[in-house]
C-alpha cells in the first residue's frame, strides 16, 4: 500500500512558477514509477509527466514540454513537478500517481495509487 499526498499548489500569475511535491508513504517508493496528471473542470484527467522508477525515463505531454520538469528524491520518498512559464490553460487539479508497472504511462488506469490532488490556478 502506498499513500500519496500532494502539496505546493496555489494561485500564480501567468508566467510564474510553482513546484508541486508528492510525498509517499512506505518503503517501496523507489520501486514505483511516478506520474503527474491534471484535471480541469469539465475535462478528463490528462497526463502531464511521468518518471520511471530508475529515474532515467521521463516523458512529458507536449503541452508542458520545456516548461515542466519531473524529478524524484527516493531518500525523501518524494516526487516533484517544477512548473515554469505557467499559462492560464495550466489551471487544474494536479494529481500524482504511482505505478508498480505500466505499459502506457499516459493512461490513468495503469496507475495503482493516487493522491487527493492539489489545485493550481494561473491567472491571466
Angle at 85 between CA 84 and CA 89, to 5 degrees: 110
Q: What is the pLDDT of residue 1?
A: 84
Q: What is the pLDDT of residue 101?
A: 86
Residue pLDDT, tens place only, 76-98: 999 999 999 999 999 999 999 99
Count other C-beta atoms under 10 Å from residue 21's C-beta. 17
Query: Which one, of 13, 30, 33, lies nearest residue 113 by Cα?
Result: 33
Looking at the predicted structure, is the pLDDT value of residue 27 above 90?
no
Amino acid at each position: 500500500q502506498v499513500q500519496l499526498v500532494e502539496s505546493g499548489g496555489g494561485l500564480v500569475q501567468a508566467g510564474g512558477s510553482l513546484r508541486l511535491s508528492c510525498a509517499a508513504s512506505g518503503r517501496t517508493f523507489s520501486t514505483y514509477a511516478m506520474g503527474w496528471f491534471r484535471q480541469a473542470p469539465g475535462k478528463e484527467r490528462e497526463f502531464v509527466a511521468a518518471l520511471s522508477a530508475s529515474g532515467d525515463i521521463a516523458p512529458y505531454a507536449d503541452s508542458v514540454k520545456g516548461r515542466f520538469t519531473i524529478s524524484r528524491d527516493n531518500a525523501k520518498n518524494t516526487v516533484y513537478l517544477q512548473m515554469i512559464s505557467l499559462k492560464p490553460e495550466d489551471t487544474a487539479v494536479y494529481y500524482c500517481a504511482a505505478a508498480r508497472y505500466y505499459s502506457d504511462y499516459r493512461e490513468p488506469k495503469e496507475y495503482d495509487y493516487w493522491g487527493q490532488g492539489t489545485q493550481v490556478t494561473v491567472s491571466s
